[in-house]
Structure formats: C-alpha cells, structure tokens
Amino acid sequence: MRYLIISDIHSNLQALEAVLADAETLGYDDTLFLGDLVGYGADPAAVIDRTLALAPVAEIRGNHDKVCAGIESPLLFNDAARHSAEWTHATLSASHLKLLADLPRGPQLVTNEVEICHGTPFDEDHYVFDATDAARALDAASARICLFGHTHLPAIFTTTDDPARSEPGLAEDEVLLPKAGPVLINVGSVGQPRDGDPRAAYGLLDMEKHSIRMRRVAYDVAGAQARIIGAGLPAWLALRLARGQ
C-alpha cells in the first residue's frame, strides 16, 4: 500500500495541482488528508472539490477548516489569517461550508500501523515544533506511524535507538522508517510552506518498503499570488508564498 499524504493546502489550487501531477507520475494507491483545506489562499471552493474528489481513505479537519466553516471564532487568528477566514466563509456556498464543517475531528486511525492528526493525537490544534512536543505526541499516538500537519514544516521524529535512515539505492527524497520503534512525520504544507523553500510539499508513505518520500514540487507561485491579490486578500499572504514563509 502506498499512501499520498497531503496537508495544509490552504486554498492554493496551483500548488495542489502541481502536487497531484507529480504524485501521479510516481504512483499511489490511496490518499490521506491531514487538514486545512482552506484559509489564506483565494481558491477555497476549487481546492475543496479537487481534494475531496480524490476520495481520501482518511481525512480530518484543520483549525482553519473549523474557523472558515463557522465552527470556531477567528478571534485568536492574526489579522491576515482572520481576514482570509472571514473572506473564505463569505465566499463559499452553503454546501461547501457544510463539507468543511463535516470533516472529521482528528486523530483518526487509518490502520493498526498508521494514524493521522492535524496537530497531535492529544490535541488537534497543538503545534509540534521540538523533541518535547514530539515525545508527548508519540506517547499519545495509537499507531506506530503517526502523520501530522499544522506547522507547515517537514519533520521526522524518532527515537535515538531506532532512527529513520537513508541507505544506498534509495531515491534522493526517500527515508527508511524505524525498524520497530515509533515515528512522527510531518510531510510539510502543500499550499504555504514555511521552511524557506517555496515549493509545495507532500509525502508518499510506502508500507511495503516501509519508507517515506518527502517530495517538493515547483508550482505557479505567481499565479497563486495573482489570485490572492485579485481577491483583495492581504498582500502579505501573496508575498510569503515566494519566500516559503
């Protein structure tokens, strides 16, 4: 089984289409979606439709999905995020808002070996930025492989006695997972990377090879920026795409 892992698309249709085209060339069996279809970008309806048309075998909501659907208040968001959330809520149809509101809460157990969450298994909105957060998440996980999003930062957390590793013969972006120990994986953000690399990020989890491919794909950043500016959304949301911030 080979899973396409996508997270934090944030209404960036150009990035999503580039990711799906790249994944198609490599091949996958099923899709896992880790939350935040919308927010920030200018194509929320198209992103919802395109992602849900993949019929993910497991999907969960993100914090922006909740706020844009009207489940939670945007008051804790910064100004740009709040503006985009309010714009998204006003722009989407009632049917699209219902699709967002109906996204399941994480965590979700995919198989006995794989679990997905947006933030962590113990709190869907908690950020994992360091080893301490990762250790708490691993302790709370119900499966040995836990996939998460939310931070927009690619990361693999393992134990020191059973680390992830690269070996000769693997693809450049492929990593072998621990032989027996737990692993916490963030494949990064499709629509708004924040690690200084503006390319869209996604992952391919191969359960037979027991490996993860951490992919980066160039996309039409200028086109995504033009859509944001044309929608009257904050200019910073367009500028950050080119900087990977």
Domain containing residue 100: CATH number: 3.60.21.10
Q: Is 49 helix (H, G, I), strand (E, B) or coil?
A: helix
Reported pTM? 0.96
For 122-178, the pLDDT digits (tens) are 999 999 999 999 999 999 999 999 999 999 999 999 988 888 888 777 788 999 999
Domain holding 151, by residue range, is: 2-243
Q: Is 123 helix (H, G, I), strand (E, B) or coil?
A: coil
Question: In this structure, are residues 52 and 95 in contact, taking their beta carbons and an 8 Å threshold?
Answer: no
The mean per-residue pLDDT over the stretch 197-205 comes to 98
Torsion of CA 1, 36, 12, 92, to 10 degrees: 120
CA dist., res. 192 & res. 7, Å (int): 10
Contacts of 19 (CB under 8 A, 6+ apart): 6, 190, 200, 202, 215, 217, 219
pLDDT at 219: 98
For 62-116, the pLDDT digits (tens) are 999 999 999 999 988 999 999 999 999 999 999 999 999 999 999 999 999 999 9
| Structural domain total, the chain | 1
